[in-house]
Amino acid sequence: MISFEDYRNMDGTELAAQIKQGALSREEVLECAISRAKQVNPAINAIIHPYYDEARSYLQKNQSDGVLAGVPMLLKDLVGEVKGWVTQNGTAAYNRTPAQSTSSLFKRYSDMGLVFIGKTNTPEFGLMATTEPVASGPSFNPWNLLKSTGGSSGGSAAAVAAGIVPIASAGDGGGSIRIPASCCGLFGLKPTRGINPSGPFAELWDGAVSEHVLTRSVRDSLTVLKGSMGSDQYSHVPSMVPPDFVRQPASRRRTLRIGYCVRSFYGGTVHEDTINAVHQAVDVLKGLGHEVEEVELELDGDKLASCYGDIYAAHVNADVSELITRYGKRFVRDNIEPLSYLIYAIGNHFRAGDFVLSKRRWAEFSHMMSTWHKQYDVLATPTIAVPPYDIGEMAGSHLENMLLKIANRLSLSAFAPRQLLYEVSKPHLQKVPFTQLANITGQPAMSVPLFWNNQGLPIGTQFVADRMQDQLLFDLAFQLEEACPWFHKAPAL
């Protein structure tokens, strides 16, 4: 039987290779993952729907020869579905009815041979940059159990960091892959818009969301994307993704022009530790022979924040409206979080034309960054503006939540202006000001774990490339992984 130490020292790619060679069996690898989950999940609350017996049954019936055959995987409990499994989307308002079909992306993961062992915690509707839903309770950061995992893929990040699985699914609508990667010391890439399928939904958050995975090694992330990329029958616009869109890096390295910026896009304070993380990355990049210089982005932060807030207002309104149609307004109001209901209420008087005008602003940001990339290959920034925050720091106080709940019950929320949403969001966005831009523009962006502060907390550095330049980011990530290894770093959980 494989020991946990040996299991932890292998990424998914190596586990699959050992299984193919006969050095390991699928069953012993699965049991090691399940044993680790049972040992540490009570402390970190990463897995909210365990499906261990289903995983055992799957192995008995399926002997896949896919590229990652036999590698255990966890799935984020948001949007994506597996036939027969429950998807709760972080809220108590969803009826726990098993799904009738499997999502396109999860079907591709299964075709690769990945073995699903459960679903991971996420904030309600994936809205927050911390994973502390009322429905399932908070996930805790394995590096420090008083700290947040980030969000919205916080349960997946905690599980990978704690060594339960080498790969877990994630989605990123405003930083939800990159923020947890930074908080938990992982590699997290948000692919170019449309590279991965989102069926049975045509688009998630009007295309702001890209789904992929969280991993400890760069090659695991690349291998999964290579097996999952390409549009499906639900896509509005079929993506013409060549088979070699992502590949192992070439032996000859290209010198990149990299601009770095440590000033918040929204004008808030950036913590010294996150600035130091970027400066260390700059030193590593220069040592690799790249041309690096500090830059200032001519960016309208208020316009960016309003574009992002408008996504919230429109899509939360749509999601909650659908729930109300199914279960009734009173039930939904009493079973979703007060802030979610407030956003729904604001969306009720968000004119369709206003949303279209907001969406048209996306092109301005895309044009701005496309022009910027004519001079620079990569933009480097902190992933987030602060080290991992405390549990409860990003959630409203008990008093605030009580006042919101009263306002919702008295229907006072119906009169809340859209500007209120911008004001409520501002303190949260100032902690995570660097990630939303790439969701609006559709660019690929990654968080790389190159720095740990004096408190032993990981702090990621973000790298953003032009659209369809995912391979460039992978090439750079492989260089950084070789120059400044992180795979051996693990929390003493």
In angstroms, rounded to a whole number, what is the distance separating the alpha carbons of residues 257 and 377? Answer: 5
Provide the pLDDT for residue 395: 78
> What is the helix, strand, coil percentage profile of the chain, to 5?
45, 15, 45
Handedness of CA 332, 333, 339, 344 (dihedral sign): positive
List pLDDT tens digits, range 473-493.
999 999 999 999 999 999 998
List pLDDT tens digits, range 30-75.
999 999 999 999 999 999 999 999 999 999 998 889 999 999 999 9
Structure tokens at 47: 């897995």
All residues at 6 or more sequence positions from 400 whose CB lies less than 8 Å from its CB, including other chains: none
The mean pLDDT value for 345-351 works out to 93
In angstroms, rounded to a whole number, what is the distance separating the alpha carbons of residues 378 and 49? Answer: 39
All residues at 6 or more sequence positions from 440 whose CB lies less than 8 Å from its CB, including other chains: 208, 304, 307, 308, 362, 365, 366
List pLDDT tens digits, range 195-218.
999 999 878 999 999 999 999 999
The mean pLDDT value for 147-153 works out to 98
Provide the pLDDT for residue 259: 98
Q: Give the CB-side neighbour count of residue 96, counting CA atoms within 13 A.
A: 5
Provide the pLDDT for residue 167: 99
Contact 435, 462 (CB under 8 A): yes
In angstroms, rounded to a whole number, what is the distance separating the alpha carbons of residues 256 and 378? Answer: 7
Above pLDDT 70, what percent of the chain? 99
The mean pLDDT value for 63-92 works out to 95
Among 227, 119, 252, 175, which residue's Cα sits nearest to residue 437? Answer: 175
Quickly state the pLDDT bin for 108 (edges 50, 70, 90). very high
pTM here?
Answer: 0.97
In whole numbers, what is the pLDDT of the chain averaged over residues?
95
All residues at 6 or more sequence positions from 294 whose CB lies less than 8 Å from its CB, including other chains: 259, 260, 261, 262
Domains and CATH numbers, the chain: 4-254 (3.90.1300.10)
Strands 72-76 vs 291-294: parallel, antiparallel or unpaired: unpaired
Provide the pLDDT for residue 243: 86
In angstroms, rounded to a whole number, what is the distance separating the alpha carbons of residues 347 and 355? Answer: 10
CB-based burial, 321-336: b 16+ in 10 Å, e otherwise: eebbeeeeeeebbebb
Among 246, 258, 185, which residue's Cα sits nearest to residue 219? Answer: 246
Q: For the sheet containing 291-294, what is the strand order?
A: 47-50, 115-120, 72-76, 167-172, 210-215, 187-190, 445-452, 458-465, 378-382, 257-260, 291-294
Quickly state the pLDDT bin for 242 (edges 50, 70, 90). confident
Provide the pLDDT for residue 405: 82
464 bridge partner residues: 379, 445
In angstroms, rounded to a whole number, what is the distance separating the alpha carbons of residues 331 and 302? Answer: 35
Provide the pLDDT for residue 250: 78
118 bridge partner residues: 50
DSSP track, 149-194: --SSSHHHHHHHHTTS-SEEEEEESSSTTHHHHHHHT-EEEEPPTT
List pLDDT tens digits, range 434-449.
999 999 999 999 999 9
Residue 428's SS3 state is: helix
Provide the pLDDT for residue 158: 99
Q: Determine the angle formed by the axes of helices 272-287 and 470-483, rounding to 10 degrees.
A: 90
Quick check: 241 pLDDT over 90? no
In angstroms, rounded to a whole number, what is the distance separating the alpha carbons of residues 366 and 441? Answer: 5
Alpha-carbon distances of 338 from 343, 344, 384, rounded to whole Å? 9, 10, 26
Structure tokens at 82: 């597996």
The mean pLDDT value for 376-402 works out to 90
Amino acid at 371: T
Give the phi and the psi of residue 67 in degrees, each rounded to 5: -65, -25
Provide the pLDDT for residue 408: 82
Quick check: 399 pLDDT over 70? no
Provide the pLDDT for residue 459: 98
Provide the pLDDT for residue 87: 94
In angstroms, rounded to a whole number, what is the distance separating the alpha carbons of residues 126 and 208? Answer: 13
